[in-house]
């Protein structure tokens, strides 16, 4: 028995085929020098075919240039109803059988092409609800845009838009849990990709079915809360070490790149943060960079005297003139790091320095709470994720056994400064015994 998801997929495929056939028929009619007999869905024959007809190569697989392709009338009418709801070009057409050559325009053919490719169709218009699941009156594109506006960071917004624009047209606003699972499990991508789809859908539906959306969906109806994320093999993400940083610095061939590497590892800054450092953002007296971090928060990023000296020396050679202190944009920094990765064989992107910052400080015995504040993470859990490369041996270097601490507490105690032990009286039956704890 076919699932609801499979039925929707089949229906969409059929509507796409109808749009494709209509686009072919319309193209033939417009490019024919004469008129045509019959109509665009029952099939017909073009007049004037003795003249050369230049037809788009896309339709070169049609056997007979003089004939129109017959189309399922029921599906064609459903398509017309939806197109008329979205596009003024189709609103004067009540029936495909009544359409004449004078009614056909190149714009109508372009719209039919966009329907054939669903993703393009979603990007250019708000699709009628009869093309989607659920009975809600909200237009999916409007709801998705409202959700995307909540993200203040471009990269986060792009992530949600990428995965939701591919999944929501099929699932709609009110899918059932088994429909989400079926959609996700049938994706032709890696487990990591499926996990990314799940994260995006989870964020969207948790917002949609909460009072924050303001759309009236009930939290208890949220379908995503019944679904477990797909299992993904956990990988240790690469992080810079003190040794790898020395190697990378030895392969830099100019002062700017050396200062940049030093700033990345000292500050724990993200690429967007470090690339946007301007001269007024450097607070020399506090040895920090002042910047706007992910989420719009104003934060401070520390740097060492060595990094400070490198930046001062670089700024004697380069005048930012109101721009960032590096003279290159984010893309330039990415290219520089790729060159270093190629020459050294060390995995080298901006985030390996952020993970390296947390891991190196943790190996030095710095408390996770301090690392969280210095690296402007939101939670201790994030610090733990970024310090996965710190192992048992690293932590053991800072280990001091409880008995050692106890011995340290009693060191230096002599007979003269020992604390006197109290005498204890033990009550017994009929007599008492005085004793000392000596």
The answer for residues whose C-beta is within 8 angstroms of residue 136's C-beta and 6 or more apart is 129, 173, 174
Which of 175, 195, 226 represents a domain boundary (last residue)? 226
51 and 168, same structural domain? no
49 and 10, same structural domain? yes
Position 98 in a domain:
yes
- Cβ contact 56:39 at 8 Å: no
Choose the most confident range, by mean pLDDT, from 5-14, 83-92, 197-206.
197-206
Choose the most confident range, by mean pLDDT, from 19-33, 82-96, 323-337.
323-337
248 and 378, same structural domain? yes
Q: What is the CA 148 to chain-centroid distance, rounded?
A: 11
Alpha-helix runs per DSSP H in 172-241:
177-185, 191-208
Query: If you average pLDDT over residues 335-362, what whole number do you get?
Result: 91
Position 327 in a domain:
yes
Evaluated on CA atoms 43, 45, 46, 51, the torsion sign reads: positive
Contacts 24+ apart (CB under 8 A), 288-296: 289/263, 293/376, 294/153, 294/270, 295/152, 295/153, 296/152
Instruction: Name which residue leads in pLDDT, 66 or 60.
Output: 66
389 and 253, same structural domain? yes
- CA-nearest of 231, 233, 212, 232 to 222 is 212
Question: Looking at residue 353, what is its pLDDT?
Answer: 92
Host domain of residue 219:
140-226
154 and 252, same structural domain? no
278 and 374, same structural domain? yes
- Which strands make up the sheet holding 298-302, listed edge to edge? 282-283, 288-292, 298-302
Enter the DSSP assignment of 422. Answer: P
- Cβ contact 8:174 at 8 Å: no
Position 66 in a domain:
yes
The answer for residues whose C-beta is within 8 angstroms of residue 178's C-beta and 6 or more apart is 3, 5
- Cβ contact 256:297 at 8 Å: no
- CA-nearest of 264, 238, 261 to 249 is 261
Query: If you average pLDDT over residues 142-169, what whole number do you get?
Result: 86
Interval 31-40: pLDDT, tens: 777 667 778 8
78 and 8, same structural domain? yes
Tokens representing 78? Answer: 């459903």
Position 402 in a domain:
no
Instruction: Name which residue leads in pLDDT, 118 or 367.
Output: 367
The answer for residues whose C-beta is within 8 angstroms of residue 337's C-beta and 6 or more apart is 348, 349, 350
Which of 131, 153, 185 represents a domain boundary (last residue)? 131
- Average pLDDT of the chain to the nearest whole number: 78
Position 19 in a domain:
yes
209 and 267, same structural domain? no
Give the domain CATH number at 279: 1.10.443.10
Instruction: Name which residue leads in pLDDT, 430 or 26.
Output: 26
Question: Looking at residue 17, what is its pLDDT?
Answer: 83
Burial of 280 (0-12, 13-18, 19+ CB in 10 A): exposed
Question: Looking at residue 433, what is its pLDDT?
Answer: 45
165 and 108, same structural domain? no
- Cβ contact 72:96 at 8 Å: no
Position 335 in a domain:
yes
The answer for residues whose C-beta is within 8 angstroms of residue 398's C-beta and 6 or more apart is 365
Domain count across the chain: 3
How many whole angstroms separate alpha carbon 269 and alpha carbon 324? 15
Position 18 in a domain:
yes
Interval 279-334: pLDDT, tens: 999 999 999 999 888 777 888 999 999 999 999 999 999 999 989 999 999 999 99
- Cβ contact 210:164 at 8 Å: no
Which of 178, 193, 226 represents a domain boundary (last residue)? 226
Q: How confident is the model at residue 366 (pLDDT cuts 50, 70, 90)?
A: confident
32 and 113, same structural domain? yes
**pLDDT higher than threshold 70 for residue 423:** no
Question: Looking at residue 251, what is its pLDDT?
Answer: 93
Position 309 in a domain:
yes
Q: E strand or H helix at 157, and its extent?
A: helix 154-171
- CA-nearest of 112, 203, 99, 105 to 150 is 203
Query: If you average pLDDT over residues 398-411, what whole number do you get?
Result: 62
380 and 276, same structural domain? yes
Tokens representing 125? Answer: 């218009």
Question: Looking at residue 403, what is its pLDDT?
Answer: 65
167 and 45, same structural domain? no
């Amino acid at each position: 028995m076919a699932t609801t998801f499979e039925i929707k997929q089949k229906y969409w495929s059929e509507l796409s085929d109808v749009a494709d056939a209509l686009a072919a028929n319309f193209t033939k009619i417009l490019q024919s020098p004469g008129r045509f007999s019959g109509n665009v869905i029952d099939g017909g024959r073009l007049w004037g075919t003795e003249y050369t007809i230049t037809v788009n190569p896309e339709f070169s697989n049609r056997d007979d240039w003089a004939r129109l392709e017959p189309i399922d009338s029921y599906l064609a009418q459903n398509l017309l109803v939806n197109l008329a709801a979205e596009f003024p070009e189709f609103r004067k057409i009540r029936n495909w059988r009544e359409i004449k050559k004078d009614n056909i325009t190149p714009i109508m053919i372009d719209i039919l092409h966009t329907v054939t490719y669903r993703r393009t169709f979603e990007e250019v218009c708000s699709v009628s609800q009869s093309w989607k699941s659920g009975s809600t009156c909200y237009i999916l594109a409007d709801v998705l845009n409202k959700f995307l506006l909540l993200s203040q960071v471009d990269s986060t917004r792009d992530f949600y838009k990428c995965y939701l624009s591919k999944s929501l047209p099929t699932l709609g606003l009110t899918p059932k849990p088994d429909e989400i699972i079926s959609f996700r499990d049938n994706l032709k991508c890696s487990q990591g990709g499926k996990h990314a789809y799940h994260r995006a859908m989870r964020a969207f539906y948790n917002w949609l079915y909460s009072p924050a959306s303001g759309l009236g969906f009930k939290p208890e109806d949220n379908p995503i809360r019944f679904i477990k994320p797909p299992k993904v093999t956990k990988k240790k993400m690469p992080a810079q070490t003190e040794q790898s940083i020395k190697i990378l610095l030895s392969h830099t061939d100019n002062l700017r790149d050396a200062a940049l590497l030093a700033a990345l590892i000292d500050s724990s800054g993200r690429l967007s943060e470090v690339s946007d450092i301007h001269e007024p953002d450097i607070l020399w007296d506090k040895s920090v960079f002042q910047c706007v971090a992910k989420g719009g928060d104003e934060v401070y990023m520390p740097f060492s005297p060595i990094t400070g000296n490198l930046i001062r020396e670089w700024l004697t050679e380069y005048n930012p003139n109101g721009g960032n202190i590096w003279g290159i944009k984010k893309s330039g920094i990415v290219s520089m790091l790729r060159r270093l990765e190629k020459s050294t064989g060390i995995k080298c992107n901006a985030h390996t320095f952020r993970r390296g910052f947390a891991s190196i400080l943790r190996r030095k015995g710095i408390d996770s709470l301090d690392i969280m504040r210095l690296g402007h993470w939101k939670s201790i859990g994030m610090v733990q994720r970024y310090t996965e490369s710190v192992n048992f041996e690293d932590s053991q270097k800072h280990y001091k056994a409880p008995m050692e601490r106890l011995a340290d507490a009693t060191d230096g105690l002599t007979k003269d400064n020992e604390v006197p032990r109290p005498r204890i009286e033990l009550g017994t039956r009929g007599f008492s015994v005085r004793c000392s704890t000596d």
